[in-house]
Amino acid sequence: MKPIQVGLLGIGTVGSGTFKVLQRNQQEILRRAGRGIEITMVADLDVARAQSIVGEGVQVVGDARAVIANPEIDIVVELIGGYGIAKTLVLEAIAAGKHVVTANKALLAVHGSEIFAAARAKGVVVAFEAAVAGGIPIIKALREGLTANRIEWIAGIINGTTNFILSEMRDKGLDFDVVLKEAQRLGYAEADPTFDIEGVDAAHKATIMSAIAFGVPVQFSKAYVEGITKLSATDIRYAEQLGYRIKLLGITKKRMDANGVSGIELRVHPTLIPAKRLISSVEGAMNAVVVQGDAVGTTMYYGKGAGSEPTASAVVADLVDITRLATADPDHRVPHLAFQPDSLADTPILGIELVQTAFYLRLRVADEAGVLSSITTILADNNISIDAVLQRESAEGEKQTDLIILTHDTIEGRMRTALAKMQSLATVLAPIVSIRKEELA
């Protein structure tokens, strides 16, 4: 049988890894797919560099549309990234009847609903395992392996750059700015790390997982996004002393409010998690995703979330899946978002003020009688229950100290009201630090 022919749009880090993995493991892939898979055409702006990677047996062009227009190409792999030309090219490939594989989480988080609808109308597949958590097969787990379950929540360390920074801050007691520069020097952070450190990259991935878990359209614009730039080594140290670690988590949960109305939490932010949880031990640039299902309980998926060959592993797995499904009736393929397209729910994404979680609070307060009483009264007036209180003794000669409070779960809106009232107290001497806390159990 004639091999499946693949056209590659972009041959940077992931593209070159994809080419190498396909070449190196071609016999294993043939045995698994039942048909050969070959990259026969590559588009890249740097034609000479691309040709040096793939050799003379592969056609290299500078125009991506030439790949899409080639009738011999069965699958187009988009590895350009971003929202702009990548969207245009993906939609053009679909219109041309090509299956598409992409690692572009930003594109799918923002325009996924449009892209999946176009693919369904044309009877082609858009595969995107590499878009979330690199080499970890979390998309396949959610779409297929956990199909029997009602997913209750997902929490993931899904950005290696921020996890590396937080690991270094904890291990070395350094502040964010210092560690960021080191991460850039070592190549863990980009020259412009904004998408990583501000939580945007993680939010793209959380949006995709949320859509698959709960059968809703992708809705990145409704995600709450908060990065790690304001975290200090002081809070990481206090968290450690209290038995917690701070991680940047992507979290999505489905829950009902007091009136029985269902909603979905979709948020990315720094989070205290108990040090005894397995995910708290995920260090450096590694990724991990924890999924809670009603039947299976808690499962965790761990591995490299980025890099040339780990991400290429997911790209090639998608190529194998499409090769297996190439002749399948489109109506009997696994749906892009796991649920049948006409069965997607309109469950709303909850605003952050309606999210329910616990909190870590650090207040710099005057060291005098009555301070703790006034603060706990404000919390009680807002129906916020205290889990633990830690007050540091003042250094000799100082008239102020740190007051650490852990709360039980509460509605975020209540906490915001309480924080405003506490901040207005004359005995609170600096901006209050508040970090959300999740038990993940």
Please check the confidence at residue 322 and state whether its pLDDT lies above 90.
yes
Taking residues 373-392, report their average pLDDT.
95
The rounded radius of gyration (Å) of the Cα atoms in the chain is 24
Write down the pLDDT at residue 336: 78
The full DSSP string for 376-389 is: HHHHHHTT--EEEE
Q: Other C-beta atoms within 10 Å of 382: how many?
A: 18
pLDDT band at 128 (very low <50, low <70, confident <90, very high): very high
% pLDDT > 70, the chain: 98
Q: Contact, 163 vs 248, CB < 8 A? A: yes
Write down the pLDDT at residue 1: 79
Please check the confidence at residue 258 and state whether its pLDDT lies above 70.
no
Write down the pLDDT at residue 325: 84
Write down the pLDDT at residue 415: 98
Show the tokens assigned to 341: 């397209």
Show the tokens assigned to 402: 């740190």
Taking residues 116-135, report their average pLDDT.
95
Lowest mean pLDDT among 12-16, 194-198, 318-322, 394-398: 394-398
Q: Contact, 11 vs 53, CB < 8 A? A: yes
Please check the confidence at residue 428 and state whether its pLDDT lies above 80.
yes
As a whole number, the mean pLDDT across the chain is 94
Please check the confidence at residue 268 and state whether its pLDDT lies above 80.
yes
Please check the confidence at residue 120 and state whether its pLDDT lies above 70.
yes
Please check the confidence at residue 327 and state whether its pLDDT lies above 90.
no
Domains of the chain: 4-135+308-339 (3.40.50.720), 139-304 (3.30.360.10), 357-437 (3.30.70.260)
Write down the pLDDT at residue 396: 72
Taking residues 120-147, report their average pLDDT.
95
% pLDDT > 90, the chain: 87
Amino acid 321 reads D
Confidence (pTM): 0.94
Q: Would you say the C-alpha torsion 385, 232, 222, 130 has a positive or negative sign?
A: negative
Write down the pLDDT at residue 335: 79
Active site residues: 205
pLDDT band at 329 (very low <50, low <70, confident <90, very high): low
Write down the pLDDT at residue 332: 64
Write down the pLDDT at residue 340: 79
Lowest mean pLDDT among 83-97, 319-333, 368-382: 319-333
Residue with tokens 């809070």: 235
- In eight-state DSSP terms, residue 347 is P
Lowest mean pLDDT among 114-123, 149-158, 243-252, 390-399: 390-399
Taking residues 229-235, report their average pLDDT.
96
List b or e across 209-239, with b for residues whose CB sees 16 or more CB atoms inside 10 angstroms: bbbbbbbbbbbbeebbbbbbbebebebbebb
Taking residues 323-348, report their average pLDDT.
78
Write down the pLDDT at residue 331: 65
Taking residues 224-248, report their average pLDDT.
96
pLDDT band at 341 (very low <50, low <70, confident <90, very high): confident
Q: Write the secondary structure of 185-198 as one string of H (helix), E (strand) and C (coil).
A: HHCCCCCCCHHHHC
Taking residues 190-214, report their average pLDDT.
97
Please check the confidence at residue 394 and state whether its pLDDT lies above 80.
no
Task: Provide φ and ψ at 363, rounded to 5°.
Answer: -120, 130
Taking residues 403-428, report their average pLDDT.
97
